[in-house]
Amino acid sequence: MERPGGQNPQAKGARTVLVAGAGGFLGKAITAALVAEGHRVRGLVRDPTKSDLVRRAGGQPMVGDVLEPSTLRAAMEGCDSVVHVAAQYPGPGIPPEMPRRVRVEGVRNLADAARAAGANRLLVCSGYWVYAGQPGVLVDDSPLDPRGESLVNYEAEQAGLEAATPGQLDVVVVRPAMVYGEGSWFRVMVNSIRSGSYLYPHPGTNLWSMVELSDAARAFVTLLERGRSGEAYLVVDDAPIMIRDLTALVAREFHLHPPAGVQREILEHAVGPEVAYHLAANRAGSNQKLRGLGWVPRYGDCRKRIPAVLDSLA
Ligand SMILES: NC(=O)c1ccc[n+]([C@@H]2O[C@H](COP(=O)([O-])OP(=O)(O)OC[C@H]3O[C@@H](n4cnc5c(N)ncnc54)[C@H](OP(=O)(O)O)[C@@H]3O)[C@@H](O)[C@H]2O)c1
């Protein structure tokens, strides 16, 4: 059974965990969730000015870079586990090879540092965009079709799984769905709906799977504690939503007309063919396997939770 939330400093089996990417959207929430369950967290940030983000989440900041192995050896000393959620998104001024390097080379460097420190557990964050869009319900081992950002995540998964060593280093892959909270893609979506510029593929009846940020973070804790090595886990809530309904829900909260979908060619021109594919894909995921480990989403249906998240964003 999942322990109830809250500070639990005497937790049996408490781990000392290095979180790479601890200053990011998922990393901050994972740090806070681990600490709430009694684990000790070292939060890796490459920019020292982001140390406070880790402290506020209850972790101990460590300055380092997943592409600089010597910084990882120092940060991993005394840790028995590591979580890789460091990521670099493409953008102006970002070298084109950097997103892949941070995820794939990063996981290899973290696995080496874990072995050197005698750590026995590595969690690799990926995402549910690795799955092929399909009409039925997605389960953890449904067919994959990684493209664009999800291809980089898929390669990180593979690099992590290759580093697994039975009896020495366990590796678990985490595939969160669309994580909504105060930041990341959700903030971008909300802002562009508010400014009237959000584009989604017509007719918008394809289903997205969602998961609330703190629920996603608690899934990482569950998988750190009980995930089976060599396996991948979908992290989704209970109630997939059509992209058309999601955008309408956000618009309604701001007393706006729901955005209309656009033709695929227009979307591809605006966001590129890979992102357009992901936005249009039907991915209704099941959380049965993760629930089997005792994880239960606090927010099973984003329709009920999103209004409160929008209040915080505003
Ligand atoms: N957000 C979602 O809804 C979602 C859903 C499913 C899967 N995912 C996956 O989860 C991963 C993390 O996503 P996110 O949304 O949390 O991203 P994020 O907010 O951009 O966080 C990534 C963090 O990684 C850090 N980082 C970048 N390069 C680094 C390096 N070389 N060494 C150490 N740290 C480095 C960044 O530091 P700086 O702050 O210094 O840039 C940032 O704090 C990605 O692989 C993403 O595909 C995300």
Lowest mean pLDDT among 4-8, 136-140, 251-255: 4-8
Q: Give the atom of ligand 1 at the shortest distance from the alpha carbon of 86.
A: 24
Under the banding of pLDDT at 50, 70 and 90, the label for residue 9 is very low
- Cα 73 to middle of ligand 1, angstroms: 20
Mean pLDDT calculated for residue range 91-104? 96
| The pLDDT of residue 212 | 98
Please work out, in degrees rounded to the nearest 5, the angle formed at the alpha carbon of residue 235 by the alpha carbons of 36 and 1: 50
Mean pLDDT calculated for residue range 102-124? 98
Q: Which residues contact 36 (CB under 8 A, 6 or more apart)?
A: 5, 6, 7, 8, 58
Q: Would the pLDDT of 72 be above 50?
A: yes
Q: Tell me how crowded residue 103 is: count the other CB atoms within 10 A of its CB.
A: 28
Alpha helices (H) along 164-253: 184-194, 213-226, 243-253
CB 52 near ligand 1, within 6 Å? no
Distance, CA of 45 to CA of 49 (rounded, Å): 9
- Cα 28 to middle of ligand 1, angstroms: 10
CB 185 near ligand 1, within 6 Å? yes
- Cα 89 to middle of ligand 1, angstroms: 8
- Cα 87 to middle of ligand 1, angstroms: 4
Mean pLDDT calculated for residue range 57-73? 98
Under the banding of pLDDT at 50, 70 and 90, the label for residue 10 is very low
| The pLDDT of residue 314 | 80
Mean pLDDT calculated for residue range 259-274? 95
Under the banding of pLDDT at 50, 70 and 90, the label for residue 93 is very high
Whole-model pTM: value is 0.96
| The pLDDT of residue 110 | 98
Mean pLDDT calculated for residue range 293-297? 98
Q: Give the atom of ligand 1 at the shortest distance from the alpha carbon of 178.
A: 3
Under the banding of pLDDT at 50, 70 and 90, the label for residue 11 is low
CATH of domain 16-179+210-236+286-296: 3.40.50.720
Under the banding of pLDDT at 50, 70 and 90, the label for residue 5 is very low
CB 159 near ligand 1, within 6 Å? no
E runs forming strands in the chain: 16-20, 40-45, 60-63, 81-84, 121-125, 137-138, 170-176, 178-180, 207-208, 210-212, 232-235, 241-242, 284-285
Q: Would the pLDDT of 6 be above 70?
A: no
Structure tokens at 215: 């629920």
Q: Would the pLDDT of 165 be above 50?
A: yes
CB 47 near ligand 1, within 6 Å? yes
The torsion of the CA quartet 4, 178, 56, 34, rounded to 10 degrees, works out to 40
User: Where are the chain's structural domains?
Assistant: 16-179+210-236+286-296
223-236 per-position pLDDT tens digit? 999 999 999 999 99
Mean pLDDT calculated for residue range 252-279? 96
Structure tokens at 201: 């593929």
DSSP assignments along 179-195, one per residue: EESSSHHHHHHHHHHHT
